[in-house]
Amino acid sequence: MMNPFPYSDTNKRYHTYDYYLRHRYGTKCARIPIDAGFSCPNRGPGGEGGCTYCSARGSGDFCADTLLPPQAQFAHEYERLCEKWGKRLPAIPYFQAFSGTFAPIERLREIYEAVSDYRLADGSRAEIPALIIATRPDCLCEEVVAYLSTLAARYDLTVELGLQSAHDATLRRIRRGHDFDTFCRGYRALSEAGIAVCVHVINGLPTEGSTIEDRAQMIETVSRLAALRPAFVKIHALHILRGTQMEQEYLRGEIRLLSMEEYVSIVCEQLTLLPPTTVVCRLTGDGAQDALIAPQWTKNKRAVLASIDRTLAREQRYQGMAFSDAPPTR
């Protein structure tokens, strides 16, 4: 049967990042995680001690050695990948760890300009068509957004923002340190500056029921997000990582985690709500495997993704089929 979803040439029923890269750049690209030594306001003075699920490396578990300066981290990983592939591919520096706009503007300039101007041994510039910067919605003052818009004029800039849930009670419980309105303000500031946003959502957070019968809040989060028409999204199940505050809650029996079947069912419904143009960068977790306490099923990414594909096909569903094209509400 013909695939009803237009943004796929591999029979997928959702808009994958791989599809986006191939159609945008004509090839796959090397996405290179970098820990540029930022911190996070939610972990420092005045913060809430960090999000309760946050790992010691602030979501930057796959970044290179932080003892190296950002440009050296990029160089090391880029050269390693080029050697592995036997050719030079376009590279996308991904400033993943902590809050990539939480520093004085001069420091941001220094870091982002140095990495994006990376030179090869012959003095020519590496092909860097895009940059990804992860940050928090409350780290986007006017000056920062103005600088980001200058980057967006030169690169395909994506700013990643954690939403996790659109429900303030959940955000308080996980100590996000901001509410949904703050997220919307940050999102709007970036959108108005012409900057693409990738929004993170976590399914199965505490207070959201986490059961197959009681999943309305997770569905509502994506429904509210869809109204903003994000360029990119990342969705994954809650991970309990060693050394996090949430580990203690979990060990005390205060957190019920989603089963794989529940997660797949919820994600398939969420995909139908998203605009078909929204690129789905991730549907499974990407945390450090050795730090993962639970749920263990998330380690088998292939099985999770295959189950999502099978469920969408069986239920004749695809991304965007329930997307309402009403104007954004926020």
In whole angstroms, what is the distance from residue 305 CA to residue 113 CA?
A: 36
Q: Give residues 42-61 in contact with ligand SF4 (rule: CB under 6 A).
A: 42-43, 50-51, 54, 58-59
To the nearest whole angstrom, how small is the minimum distance from the Cβ of residue 210 to ligand SF4? 19
Closest CB to ligand SF4 among residues 50, 186: 50
To the nearest whole angstrom, how small is the minimum distance from the Cβ of residue 239 to ligand SF4? 12
Closest CB to ligand SF4 among residues 12, 136: 136
Number of residues lying near ligand SF4 (CB under 6 A): 12
Q: Give residues 290-329 in contact with ligand SF4 (rule: CB under 6 A).
A: none
To the nearest whole angstrom, how small is the minimum distance from the Cβ of residue 280 to ligand SF4? 21
- Per-residue H/E/C for the chain: CCCCCCCCCCCCCCCEHHHHHHHHHCCCCEEEEECCCCCCCCCCCCCCCCCCCCCCCCCCCCCCCCCCCHHHHHHHHHHHHHHHHCCCCCEEEEECCCCCCCCCHHHHHHHHHHHHCCECCCCCECCCCEEEEEECCCCCCHHHHHHHHHHHHHCEEEEEEEEECCCHHHHHHCCCCCCHHHHHHHHHHHHHCCCEEEEEEEECCCCCCCCCCCCHHHHHHHHHHHCCCCCEEEEEECCEECCCHHHHHHHCCCCCCCCHHHHHHHHHHHHHHCCCCCEEEECCCCCCHHHEEECHHHHCHHHHHHHHHHHHHHCCCCCCCCCCCCCCCC
Closest CB to ligand SF4 among residues 36, 268: 36
Closest CB to ligand SF4 among residues 53, 74: 53
Indicate whether 180 belongs to the interface with ligand SF4 (CB under 6 A). no
Question: Site map for ligand SF4, 17-46, x if CB under 6 A?
Answer: -----------------------x-xx---
Q: Which helix (H) or strand (E) holds 77?
A: helix 70-85
To the nearest whole angstrom, how small is the minimum distance from the Cβ of residue 50 to ligand SF4? 4
To the nearest whole angstrom, how small is the minimum distance from the Cβ of residue 164 to ligand SF4? 9
Q: Give residues 66-125 in contact with ligand SF4 (rule: CB under 6 A).
A: 98-99
Indicate whether 136 belongs to the interface with ligand SF4 (CB under 6 A). yes
Closest CB to ligand SF4 among residues 60, 90: 60
To the nearest whole angstrom, how small is the minimum distance from the Cβ of residue 281 to ligand SF4? 17
To the nearest whole angstrom, how small is the minimum distance from the Cβ of residue 259 to ligand SF4? 24
Closest CB to ligand SF4 among residues 40, 258: 40
In whole angstroms, what is the distance from residue 284 CA to residue 16 CA?
A: 12
Using CB under 6 A, list all residues that contact ligand SF4: 40, 42-43, 50-51, 54, 58-59, 98-99, 136, 162
